[in-house]
Amino acid sequence: MPVFIVTKSDLVLRDIDLLRALRERKLCLVHISLISLNPNISALFEGTAPSPHKRLKVIEELSNEGIRVVVRMQPIIPYVNDEPSMLKKLIEAVSSSGGFSHCSGYPQDLGNRITKYIIFTGEN
């Protein structure tokens, strides 16, 4: 049975031996959440989660071990982290760190009510 881990934490690395064993059987996929490279935005919206730099290092270490990593760049918040140049840098950093693919999205507000959640995915 496959294992999907969704986390913001660098503690996923403490189980690297187990993840390696699962990787050998092609049963492991790790999702790391990362909404911005800006540590101030990250701290404001993600509280006590590890810094963006630390999470990029986790992505890199897992990728170096051959473990597939999907980076969840969610939520994209209008006027906070939706600037195209900011998103481009984030995608480039994820790709450089070895992220297998990325997933991002933003809520579409129609009349003070979120009616859709637009999702974008891409493979690096």
Residue ranges covered by each domain of the chain: 3-123
Whole-angstrom distance, CA of residue 42 vs CA of residue 68: 23
The pLDDT assigned to 122 comes to 54
What integer pLDDT is reported at residue 99 of this predicted model? Answer: 85
Question: What contacts 90, CB < 8 A, 6 or more positions away?
Answer: 34, 36, 37, 73
User: Would you identify the CATH topology of the domain 3-123?
Assistant: pyruvate-formate lyase- activating enzyme (3.80.30)
pLDDT, block means (10 residues), the chain with 124 residues: 91 95 92 94 92 96 93 86 88 88 62 46 52
Nearest alpha-carbon partner for 106 in 31, 84, 48, 94: 84
What pTM was estimated for this model as a whole?
0.82
Q: Please tell me the predicted confidence (pLDDT) of residue 41.
A: 94
